[in-house]
Structure 1
Amino acid sequence: MRGHSALYRIRLASRKDAAAVLDLYAPYVTSTTVSFEVEPPSVDEYADRIQSALDRYTFLVLERMDNEDEEGLGTAGEAAPAGADIVGFASYGPFGHRVAYQWSAEISIYLKQGLTGNGLGAHLLDALEKIMASAGITNSESCICSENTGSIEFHRRHGYRTCAEFTDCASKFGRWLGIQWLEKHLAPHPANPQPPHAPAPQDCERILAAVNARLASKS
């Protein structure tokens, strides 16, 4: 029997993925406190979010494929092949809007509900962090609802530590909620750092190829 990993690949997203990614994300908005949005964005709005991330940062999708779709799947921003379903995504963007923050970035990672706990999130996070480091990002920051203990523990297992906690700072579903900020250092902090840059296509290709090879090896 084949393992789960041979059926999954990570690639760069494109605007065409907006509807599929939104189908995955919307239940987290409408039914959970994982996202602090209270209304799902439209497909067009989400397409703009994806494009904005791709222009300066990155946006990755995790696909689950039928067996016949496994061979030849690219890693760049192409639409999902027939028979492929987007079951996860990860992105990063600005941590703060002042110039001095530019070496830190806030991350976001989601898996389709019911798909956590099998190692797929670890591969997705690894790909995202390596792309961030290749672009000159030194600090990865994650803001998580305090009651989302599964996500907090996931990040801690992968090297993050809680740096700040805020109590009763948001309200959703008639309840006051707290948040935790978790941080991981991805690279050294030189005395005179060069400004970060958009990820180079060749770096993304190399990193995603290596991560996908590890996924495939788990079959």
Structure 2
Amino acid sequence: MSTPAFKQLETTDIPFLMDVYNYFVVHSTHSFHTEPVTLSEFTDSVIHPNSRYQTYVVQLDGKPQGYVQIMPHKKKQAYDPTGEVTIYLHPECVGKGLGSASIQFIEAIAQKRGFHSLIATVCADNAASIHMFTRNGYQQCAYYREVGFKWGRFLDIVTFQKIIS
């Protein structure tokens, strides 16, 4: 397999990445959106006014495969040392090591930007993401029961954390 590359998000990347995200909205419980997001909603979720928080396109052989981002964990200032990590990859890319490469990439970015801790929140149904985060040194720090409701059933979420500094 080729080595993954990462580039800073450009507005021209947004429609493809929105399609990747909306695939999981429609076909899985990985996203807690129950309806596909609009271009405006998705753009707001991947572009942050503070340059400390950014979205990167995951590429393989120069082609976009998905995205990884570091965003604020919470809006209160005391949370500033902690970032929230999100990864969405095209469904055909899952299981090829791009998730782990994305985690390692975003951790290096986070360390350079002075983050102390990274958080990832995952639907408890998402065994692949849970395995990916634990394999990369994240520890489960919370389990919330029945906090989401999609497709006629309640969903649990699991929160993972890694101290990186």
Deviation at 1:53, TM superposition (A): 6.5
Higher RCO, Cα 8 Å, sep 6+ = 1
Gaps of 5+ in 1: 66-83, 188-219
CA contact (8 A) 1:15 1:51 kept: no
Taking the TM superposition and a 5 Å limit, the aligned residue runs for 1:41-120 are 41-52=37-48, 55-65=51-61, 84-120=62-98
RMSD after superposition:
1.6
For residues 50 and 126 of structure 2, the distance between their equivalents in structure 1, rounded to whole angstroms, comes to 28
Taking the TM superposition and a 5 Å limit, the aligned residue runs for 1:121-160 are 121-160=99-138
Q: Percent identity?
A: 27
Structure with greater helix share of residues: 1
Deviation at 1:97, TM superposition (A): 1.8
Closer, same or farther: CA 102–39 of 1 in aligned 2, 3 Å: same
Deviation at 1:45, TM superposition (A): 2.9
Deviation at 1:54, TM superposition (A): 6.6
Deviation at 1:96, TM superposition (A): 1.4
For residues 97 and 177 of structure 1, the distance between their equivalents in structure 2, rounded to whole angstroms, comes to 25
2:157 paired residue number: 179
For residues 130 and 182 of structure 1, the distance between their equivalents in structure 2, rounded to whole angstroms, comes to 18
CA contact (8 A) 2:141 2:161 kept: yes
Q: Does 1:5 align with 2:2?
A: yes
For residues 45 and 114 of structure 1, the distance between their equivalents in structure 2, rounded to whole angstroms, comes to 24
For residues 34 and 63 of structure 2, the distance between their equivalents in structure 1, rounded to whole angstroms, comes to 25
CA contact (8 A) 1:15 1:50 kept: no
1:22 paired residue number: 18
CA contact (8 A) 2:124 2:155 kept: yes
CA contact (8 A) 1:170 1:178 kept: yes
Gaps of 5+ in 2: none
CA contact (8 A) 2:118 2:163 kept: yes
**Which structure has the bigger radius of gyration?**
1
Structure with greater strand share of residues: 2
Closer, same or farther: CA 112–155 of 1 in aligned 2, 3 Å: same
